[in-house]
Amino acid sequence: MNPELRNLIALQDIELKISSLHKRISSIPTQVQSLNNELQQVQTEHQARVARTKELSNRRRTLEGDVDMLRSKLSRLKDQLMSVKTNKEYTAMLHEIQTAEEHIRGEEDKILEVMEETEGMEKDLKTSEKEVSRRTAELQEAIRQTNESAPALELELAKLEEEKAGMESHIEAELLSRYRRIAEVRKGIALAEAKDELCSACHVRIRPQMYADLLRTENIQFCDSCSRILFSRENS
């Protein structure tokens, strides 16, 4: 294989690694933000369950207070019942007592509903506390690792940039310039492997004579379809 072509292959490999590292480094703030958002959501959902449990407790106390007042009212009504003098007053008082008793039963039913929901919420809260603790620790560790990965990636990037500069110095200027032009319009992929008489990048068949020359000689060949620089591992 042509030594400069070999260097171009190595250069492209380096540049693809550099491009990948740039993407990884640039994505770190987004990753950290996403992890922080998830952490906030986990904690917010847990706090909502805590708040709902407190709300139910307050609701139960309010209802129990209402029932106590209603029972006091009912007791007074029953006391007053003994002092009425007419059948009409007696009937009216019985109706008022019946209404108070129905009201008490209704409030007590509400208390039972609150108690049932509270019991379920308290069980859910115990499970949630363990899960929130575990997930919070996981997310905080992921955030720490993601933040701390940047320096190592930057160091690796600097080393690759040095390798890139060294590799470029071994490639003839005109060929390097053409490589750059192709890479610019082909998303960084200026070279393509020729295999089974096809360009691996655009999948167009290579002319038989060109393919034969590619296998036999060290001449630089370009794909007629995508203009990428062709190479064959069979000629390495």
Query: Given this model, what pLDDT does residue 236 score?
Result: 57
- The values of phi and psi at residue 191, to 5°, are -115, 145
What's CA 127's distance to the chain center, in Å? 23
Q: pLDDT confidence of 218, banded at 50, 70, 90?
A: confident
Domains contained in the chain, CATH given:
26-170 (1.10.287.1490), 174-235 (no CATH)
Instruction: State yes or no: pLDDT of 101 exceeds 90.
Output: yes
Determine if residue 217 is left, alpha or beta; phi over 0 gives left, psi from -120 to 50 gives alpha, anything else beta. beta
Q: How many CB atoms lie within 10 A of CB 120?
A: 12
- DSSP, collapsed to helix, strand or coil, labels residue 128 as helix
Query: Given this model, what pLDDT does residue 81 score?
Result: 86
- State mean pLDDT over 3-31: 94
Query: Given this model, what pLDDT does residue 217 score?
Result: 83
Going by C-alpha positions, the residue among 218, 224, 166 that lies closest to residue 192 is: 224
**H or E element: which one contains 198?**
strand 198-199
Helix, strand, coil shares of the chain as percentages rounded to 5? 80, 5, 15
Query: Given this model, what pLDDT does residue 30 score?
Result: 95
- State mean pLDDT over 64-88: 90
Query: Given this model, what pLDDT does residue 99 score?
Result: 93
* Whole-angstrom distance, CA of residue 168 vs CA of residue 35: 40
155-185 pLDDT, tens digit each = 999 999 999 999 999 999 999 999 999 999 9
Which residues 6+ apart lie within 8 Å of 1 measured at CB? 218, 231, 232, 235, 236
The structure's pTM equals: 0.68
* Whole-angstrom distance, CA of residue 65 vs CA of residue 73: 12
For residue 195, give Cα distances in angstroms to 16, 48, 148: 21, 61, 42
C-alpha R_g of the chain: 40
Residues of the chain with pLDDT > 70, as a percent, come to 99
Instruction: State yes or no: pLDDT of 17 exceeds 60.
Output: yes
Structure tokens at 220: 């630089």
* Whole-angstrom distance, CA of residue 24 vs CA of residue 31: 10
